[in-house]
Structure formats: structure tokens, C-alpha cells
Amino acid sequence: MDIVVTVHGTIRSYVQVDEEPIRLAVAEGSTVGDVVERLGIPLERGWNAGIGGKLVSASDVLHDGDQLSVFDVIGGG
């Protein structure tokens, strides 16, 4: 299945792919965490991701056509 990924912020420095958005073919049942690791972003680094404007976690399963955004953890207060 095919997904589209955009990576924002300083976390982009981990990604070795120059094109944006990044188009990936992934196996059925792949998770957000699988894709984050495939892009070279360490899971323990701290990151957020969203699909369709909703936050998702590393264990969420992707679906064909998903548009995944990965971005830095944002703090505030």
C-alpha cells in the first residue's frame, strides 16, 4: 500500500530523503512507528505524528492513502 509522509521541524535532519512529500510503499499492517524508524528517526528521540489532523501513536496501523505528518514535540505553558 502507498502512503505520503511529510516531516517538519528539526526532526527533519534525521531523514535522508530529499523529496518532500515522501511517498512510501509499505506492507499491509505497517504502523506509524515502523515508518518513523524506516525514515531514520529514533523512536526514543521524541516526536509526534498526525493523520487527518488527529494525533497518532507509534502503534497505530496505517492504511492505504494515509497522509502522515511527523513533527517535533511541542511544549508550552
Q: What CATH number is given to the structural domain containing 54?
A: 3.10.20.30
- Asked, for residue 53, whether it belongs to a domain, the answer is yes
From CA 69, how far away is CA 56, in angstroms rounded? Answer: 10
Q: How many domains does the chain have?
A: 1
24: which 3 cell numbers? 512510501
- Asked, for residue 28, whether it belongs to a domain, the answer is yes
- Kind of pairing, strands 54-56 and 48-51? antiparallel
Query: pLDDT tens for residues 14-71?
Result: 999 888 899 999 999 999 999 999 999 999 989 999 999 999 999 999 999 999 999 9
| Residues of the domain holding 26 | 2-71
Q: pTM for the full model?
A: 0.91
Query: pLDDT tens for residues 40-53?
Result: 999 998 999 999 99
Checking 54-60 for CB contacts under 8 A at 24+ apart, the result is: 56/32, 57/32, 57/33, 58/31, 58/32, 58/33, 59/31, 59/32, 59/33, 60/31, 60/32
* Contact by Cβ (8 Å): 24, 5: yes
- Asked, for residue 56, whether it belongs to a domain, the answer is yes
